[in-house]
Structure 1
Amino acid sequence: MKRNLLFIFVLMIVPFTVKAQIKGVICDENQNPVEFANVILMGADSVYIAGTVTDVSGKFDFLTDYSNAKFLQISALGYKTIIKTLDEKNDIGTLVLVSDNILLDEITVTARPSQHLTKGGIITTVNGSVLSLLGNAMDVIGQLPGVKREDDKFTVFGKGTPIIYVNGRKLTDNSELYRMSSKDIASVEVISNPGAKYGAEVKSVLLVRTIKKQGDGLSGSIQGVVRAAHSWSNSDNLSFNFRKNNLDIFGAFAFDHSRRYQQQKNVTMINTGHNLYDLNSDIIILPVSTTYNANLGFNWQINPKNVLGAKYEFQGTPYNHSDWTTNETIELNGILDDKIDYYTYWKRKNMPTNILNMYYIGEYGDWTLTVNNDYYSSRNKAEQEIDEISLSEGKSAISSLNRINSSMFASKSVLDYVFGKNTLEAGYEYTYTNRTDRYDNYNDFLPDADDNIKEHNIAGFISATFPIGVYELSGGLRYEHTISDYYENGLLISEQSRKYDRLFPNIDFTFPIKKAKFTLSYTAKTKRPLYSQLSSNIQYDDRFTYETGNPLLKPEMNHDVSLSGIYKWVFFSASYQYVKDAIVGIVEAYKEGEPVNLMTYMNYDHISKYTAMVSLSPKISIWSPRLQFYLMGQNLKIPFMGTELRMNNPFLFINFYNSLSVGKGFTITGDMLYHTSGDMDVVTLKPSWQINLGVTKTIGNWFFQLSATDIFKTARNSMITYGTQMKLDKWNYSDSQAVRLTIRYAFNSTMSKYKGRGAGQSEKNRL
């Protein structure tokens, strides 16, 4: 019987082990591992077959059996490229890269960006590809498969706003990506199914890895950006790093002064059941803001196995004003009823925001311990003044003051254990948040509010990865215990307080089919309401519109099943999400039978959502096109004027990016972005398209970029919003036609080794 069982076991594992894997290790002349080296498989005719990058240990591994592969090409910035002829064993062993003093400016970049699947996502190699010539990290990330960029914000399709890490350090301000040269980026990984070590609210992650550079001394960069649109804007930043032996001292300062312009036309229909109101509004919005960001820190490599560091960051927006001018006509049952002019003045001040991170990483044999402790505090003030001039009622004034103070402490530890090719991770995360929200309405018809939320969250997690031949299985489990106490005017409100104990599993299975590679994933995530969504204050927008939060909101639970695959330069993914207790922004009647509408939030029992994506990135001589298709849809019914309205029309996004490497340091870019109409929650987004052009030039340590966005002024943020008694049809232009000039000077090449990852990131996003 034992022999039979052994025979069956052997039959089971043979299919997983008989295929020879192409694998090896890359190191430098001092036997140090070379991270993020490009490893490319080529056929007998030197045609590209597949690509990957080395990990932190210098290891690479092609899980799929590429029987037609004949050569292996290894390249990395600062090293000479080598080509290795493959033999039958396919175990390359250790290859040594020799240093090369040729500057990147002297190298003609012709490679297309290589991509391959990773646990929960896809990694794109930037170093040595056309992406390295785009300008900065913002430009690079905005062209990655599955990522949508709007100004300085990113969205991963179907997975929301991602958390961004640079070399393991969590970004708290995306402006850092503007001053990071695309030439300094080794790779970017888009994780659309984050594992258990990330927060239960984290549905997407971007991991930016820069090229490791060596050498003591002072290095840094200075950058200036000028934007000309309806008005002029400018931003400037500088950064430095001083390295002596194993100690780094680094810092940065950024300044941004922004002037923007928005033009909007609203056509609103309100049906109270007794009366029909038709509103036509012309709106001009002029926002102006000034923002500062500064950081200072140190990193100490005690020895090869122990490193610690600390970083302090200051953020402040002392000036953030916006002026709204609205001219509105009102018809009641088809007859002109009134004309109202609104002059709205917003004065916001967000400062200071203080962020302190301290971390330690230590290696103990096969174990690695990572500890992060974070402190966060912020003060925000918003003043609103509205002057109304009504044809029928004369002049009136409405004003309010909102003050929000937030503080948070977070601690996170992760213990990694490597045995063979298997990895095991376990750890905990704790956060404590205290947020006060005081809102004063200086009028008699809307109430004041004084809210205070104190929240404790403690989590434990464990995850593991098991390669089995050409297959890989990974999974994890996260447990979270949350206590949220809600106070109004200093009194604990039990009905609005919350207590949760929840488990969040995830599992990924990676497998090849011939020369293609696939990953099938299941992830359970949550989405807690933003603190602003829990607020009880009521904000006056105009005579027909108020805004408020909902203190009774519950967290939503998201069950996500995804399949992704890659073959050469073709990548695709598809996902289905079942969202329980989905948080949806709605518009309902403030009082029954009256025309005033209240914008608020509620939990729907459930919503089904789906996404699909195809990305094509071939290389045709000096032309590098990247064509991306995205489909997003939902299954939702909403109440609308006494009936049920189906919001099931899907979006189709088409992004077509083009790069031409024309030599002598010049790169020309041309992009076309388009999306159809489609439904998202209670909104129908209207179609929009735009064309962007740009050119970049590198001269020694200098970088120049001139770009023009929305050349034909066709981009729109127009939509139709549906409420229980209203329909708002909005046309919007948001200053998208612009010309931008970027000039950057970088000296020396030393980069910070800071590895602090941060803790409590979900709470920072909610605040």
Structure 2
Amino acid sequence: MSRYIRHLGILLSILLSTGIANAQNEEVTVTGIVKEKASQQPIQFATVMIGNKETGEAITGTTTGEDGKFSIKTTASDFFVEVTFIGYESQAKRDITIRDGKVDVGVIQLAEDSRSLKEVVVRGEKSRTEFQLDKRVFNVGQDLASTGAGALEVLNNVPSVNVTIEGQITLRGSAGVQILIDGKPSVMADQQSNALGTITADMIESIEVITNPSAKYAAEGTSGILNIILKKEEKKGLNGSVTLNTGVPQNHSVGVSLNRRTEKFNLFTQLGVGHRSLPQYSESINQDRINNTTVRSDGTEYRNETFYNVILGTDYHINPLNVITLSGNFAYEVEKQPSRYDFSFSDSTGAIVSRWNRQETTQATNPKYQYELQYEKKFEDNEDHVLLFSAIGSFFGKDQSSEFINTPVFGENFNNDQQTNTKFQQADYTFKLDYTNPLTEKVTIETGAQYLINDVGNDFAVRERIDGTLVTIDRLTNNFEYNQKVLGVYGTGSYEGKKWGVKAGLRVENTDLNTLLTTTNEANNRNFTNLFPTLHSSYKLTEKVSVQAGYSKRIYRPRLWDLNPFFNIRNNFNIRVGNPDLLPEFTDSFELTSIFNLKTASLNATVYHRATSDVVERVSTFENNVNTTRPMNIGTNKTTGFELNGDYSPNKWLKITGDLNINYFVREGEFQQQSFDFSGDQWSSQLTSKIGLPANFDLEISGNYQSSYRTVQSRVTGYAFADLGIRKKLKGGKAVINLGVRDIFASRIQESVIERSNFYLYDFGQRGRFVTLGFSYGFGKGEAMTYSGSRRR
């Protein structure tokens, strides 16, 4: 603290002395450049003081520019130059030579102050955990960038969160986590393209974990939210990284990420290009138990993609209270799907009477883009008194053509050759306004609104070769239009004391959904309004033990592909269609969580209960050996579960994290005019060990297990799989070489069986083993990262 007071005193002395005339008449111009010693990057806003050699008092001063350079004039003849910057050791130039009224002190290098680091860095200790009303907050400390930590490493130290070496983020063992920065979506937080690599730990104040969102968040269900709160005094300068990846099956990509922060602007961009192949092996058995006939198929589907990604954006700090952010990204994909399936047909005796293969050739182009405007207004009375407005627009298109050629091996050919064409366009618009006002230190109110527009058109045509001529199949050809508007308004009020707090909220959402099959003029229009109450409470038992309880009502609105009635004819004996009459699911979610913090370990225990109505299930109907799967609303589901996760770090080189989730469910309802009641259980587990090896090597081994479970019709088989990662850090963590092996034993499968009195269905799918090798180099304050090249959805 005394060092900060000294810096403040220097600045005040400079301000007071600049108006005092010096007795000397000759004016001297002093120039130079200030750089960080370790990285040799320019330091912006460093304080440059011209001081009196005899008294040591400040005569005049200035600060460095964006390029680290400074120029200052003085009429003194006997002076010294001192450069200071918070967090760095001061440097002074006392041997001054004046030539022709000019002094060039050259490059002044500042090294990080080891005394300052010792004040804020506590090695081997966990970040302090704070329970708030509807979330858990993990304070990550200050100036962690000086130890080489990055945003992904900070997230990996948060209980309930795991980050693999490849950069995948999971919460309570579940992927699909929504990442926010300062409470709002941002392209900088896009984990699909690992944009988090440009955020360093010294920019992070805390991380909020929200597993049961309050009324402030849209009622649409998610697996969880991680909100990264940035420090208000982010360091300036150029950050970035370059990545190269290659893999088997083909997975090659190049990525560049840049972030440039100045006093008024923060510019960020990311460029990526790559090519990948995603093969999947499938088997199926369709057995007609009435006629005792069977159709079998097996084959491999390939999805080959070439992709291009561009992200560009800027934050403009109008003043300390007003910030405008404008960002956009564009992606373009070229898809090819060369696939082949072998079919056989068996009669009632079990003899194979026919064989044929079905060859698919699919090509598609997918343009995607998104643009976003955000405005944040803070009020002088309290930094948490905030008004935030955002507007987001996005577009996704698909122009696809497929050809299916059937070649008989022997016997009858059960399929004709077919062609399909798809013209798909989707536009989404989101407008959001949030207002937060802390009325007192303990009482806060929040209110806001969100308006979401989804506008989709899908023009689909199927043609079949009959007697050598392609004929349009009218029953499979149509244009499906989907338009959904959701208006949500919310309000919350909260009280937070030292030990106890409560937060209550209510969200009202109106949904206006219209679907239309234009060629047959089949319309389905719905308009409904729902209330979504939320209630959260927390109590701090001791410094190391806290508990939290929460309730929220959530909704699952059927997606486009749930409603779209078009057939997927890749396999004419296993067809998937949508259901335009599908209703939304509603869930009441209850949760009770406790957290225990010890010196070398943390433990989280959660008991939860979910009650869901109008459950959406995929149901199979069977006719002439053809299985048609359609989503339907069937009954209710009541699930009670227990989740236990934690991490243990007995020393600096070993960290073990684990997660166990067990639930018991009761299904009730009616299907095909028959009542059913059944119960079952399902559980999953994950255990990950991260081992620090000599020579800056890191080893990660992760094991996962998913148990079998029952649905209304089927039994889904369980599976286990393991992943392996090895990482080598170079140049103090600025460069990284990474080897990853996903599904080491190729044991991750998807297998289900349906046994009914009149039919039997078996399905099997497998992706197989993936190996990736990557190199990443970070410069400036940026960290090395792995550019996944994941497709932007």
Give the counterpart of 1:531 among 545, 557, 560.
560
Deviation at 1:562, TM superposition (A): 0.8
1:608 corresponds to 2:638: yes
In structure 1, the residue matched to 2:726 is 694
| C-alpha contact (below 8 Å) 2:138/2:158 kept by paired residues | no
What 5-or-longer segments of structure 2 have no aligned partner? Answer: 9-85, 89-111, 465-471, 785-791
Q: Deviations over 1:349-379 (max 9, x none)?
A: 2103333333333325343211111122221
Deviation at 1:547, TM superposition (A): 1.7
In structure 1, the residue matched to 2:699 is 668
| C-alpha contact (below 8 Å) 2:290/2:759 kept by paired residues | no
In structure 1, the residue matched to 2:422 is 402
1:506 corresponds to 2:534: yes
Matches within 5 A, 1:552-631: 552-568=581-597, 569-589=602-622, 593-622=623-652, 623-631=654-662
Question: Structure 1's 305 and 359: CA in aligned 2 closer, same or farther, altered over 3 A?
Answer: closer
Deviation at 1:633, TM superposition (A): 4.2
Query: Distance in 1 between the 2:769 and 2:155 partners?
Result: 19
For residue 297 of structure 1, what is the amino acid of its counterpart? G
1:270 corresponds to 2:258: no
Q: Deviations over 1:119-139 (max 9, x none)?
A: 434445667999x98987499
Question: Structure 1's 162 and 748: CA in aligned 2 closer, same or farther, altered over 3 A?
Answer: closer
Q: Match of 2:562, SS?
A: helix
Give the counterpart of 1:313 among 312, 329, 332.
329
Matches within 5 A, 1:538-553: 538-553=567-582
Which structure has the greater CA radius of gyration?
2
Q: Deviations over 1:418-440 (max 9, x none)?
A: 02222210011112232111111
Query: Distance in 2 between the 1:143 and 1:379 partners?
Result: 38
Query: Distance in 2 between the 1:665 and 1:573 partners?
Result: 36
Query: Distance in 2 between the 1:549 and 1:142 partners?
Result: 42
| C-alpha contact (below 8 Å) 1:112/1:617 kept by paired residues | no
TM-score, scaled relative to structure 1: 0.76
| C-alpha contact (below 8 Å) 1:168/1:207 kept by paired residues | no
Query: Distance in 2 between the 1:282 and 1:28 partners?
Result: 74
In structure 2, the residue matched to 1:292 is 308
| C-alpha contact (below 8 Å) 1:296/1:312 kept by paired residues | yes
Q: Match of 2:222, SS?
A: coil
| C-alpha contact (below 8 Å) 1:142/1:149 kept by paired residues | no
Query: Distance in 2 between the 1:246 and 1:101 partners?
Result: 31
Q: Deviations over 1:484-518 (max 9, x none)?
A: 22222178755x21101110001011123455211
1:206 corresponds to 2:225: yes
Q: Deviations over 1:451-507 (max 9, x none)?
A: 11222222110012211441110121000112122222178755x211011100010
Give the counterpart of 2:452 among 427, 431, 439.
431
1:252 corresponds to 2:270: yes
For residue 432 of structure 2, what is the amino acid of its counterpart? K
Q: Match of 1:650, SS?
A: strand
1:162 corresponds to 2:177: yes
TM-score, scaled relative to structure 2: 0.74
Stretch deviating more after TM superposition (138-147 or 611-620): 138-147
Question: Structure 1's 506 and 222: CA in aligned 2 closer, same or farther, altered over 3 A?
Answer: same
Deviation at 1:417, TM superposition (A): 0.5
Query: Distance in 1 between the 2:764 and 2:157 partners?
Result: 25
For residue 361 of structure 1, what is the amino acid of its counterpart? K
Stretch deviating more after TM superposition (206-215 or 704-713): 206-215
Query: Distance in 2 between the 1:178 and 1:160 partners?
Result: 17
Query: Distance in 2 between the 1:146 and 1:662 partners?
Result: 23
Q: Match of 1:175, SS?
A: helix
Q: Match of 1:532, SS?
A: helix
Deviation at 1:750, TM superposition (A): 11
For residue 539 of structure 2, what is the amino acid of its counterpart? F
| C-alpha contact (below 8 Å) 2:478/2:519 kept by paired residues | no
> How many residues of Structure 1 are paired with residues of Structure 2 in the alignment?
653
Deviation at 1:614, TM superposition (A): 0.8
Query: Distance in 1 between the 2:617 and 2:753 partners?
Result: 13
Give the counterpart of 2:250 among 232, 246, 249.
232
| C-alpha contact (below 8 Å) 1:108/1:663 kept by paired residues | no
Q: Match of 2:651, SS?
A: coil
In structure 2, the residue matched to 1:195 is 214
In structure 1, the residue matched to 2:39 is none
For residue 341 of structure 2, what is the amino acid of its counterpart? T
Q: Match of 1:260, SS?
A: strand
Query: Distance in 2 between the 1:642 and 1:336 partners?
Result: 36
Deviation at 1:100, TM superposition (A): 5.4
In structure 1, the residue matched to 2:78 is none
Stretch deviating more after TM superposition (330-339 or 373-382): 330-339
1:717 corresponds to 2:749: yes
Give the counterpart of 1:360 among 370, 376, 386.
376
Query: Distance in 1 between the 2:554 and 2:174 partners?
Result: 11
Q: Match of 2:716, SS?
A: strand
Query: Distance in 1 between the 2:166 and 2:363 partners?
Result: 22
Query: Distance in 2 between the 1:643 and 1:278 partners?
Result: 27
Q: Match of 1:180, SS?
A: helix
Q: Deviations over 1:675-715 (max 9, x none)?
A: 33234675513221314242331414622132332474143
Deviation at 1:312, TM superposition (A): 1.6
Query: Distance in 1 between the 2:540 and 2:353 partners?
Result: 68
Q: Match of 2:749, SS?
A: coil
Stretch deviating more after TM superposition (339-348 or 727-736): 727-736
Q: Match of 2:362, SS?
A: strand
For residue 614 of structure 1, what is the amino acid of its counterpart? L
Q: Deviations over 1:543-577 (max 9, x none)?
A: 31222111111111111111111011111112111
Q: Deviations over 1:633-665 (max 9, x none)?
A: 433369999988877443332222122334664
| C-alpha contact (below 8 Å) 1:575/1:611 kept by paired residues | yes
User: What RMSD, in angstroms, separates the aligned Cα atoms of the two structures?
Assistant: 3.8
Deviation at 1:236, TM superposition (A): 2.0
In structure 2, the residue matched to 1:4 is none
For residue 410 of structure 1, what is the amino acid of its counterpart? T
Q: Match of 1:618, SS?
A: strand
Question: Structure 1's 331 and 554: CA in aligned 2 closer, same or farther, altered over 3 A?
Answer: same
Question: Structure 1's 604 and 638: CA in aligned 2 closer, same or farther, altered over 3 A?
Answer: closer
Give the counterpart of 1:177 among 177, 191, 194.
194
| C-alpha contact (below 8 Å) 1:613/1:628 kept by paired residues | yes
In structure 2, the residue matched to 1:733 is 766
Q: Match of 2:310, SS?
A: strand
Q: Deviations over 1:36-78 (max 9, x none)?
A: xxxxxxxxxxxxxxxxxxxxxxxxxxxxxxxxxxxxxxxxxx9
| C-alpha contact (below 8 Å) 2:500/2:539 kept by paired residues | yes
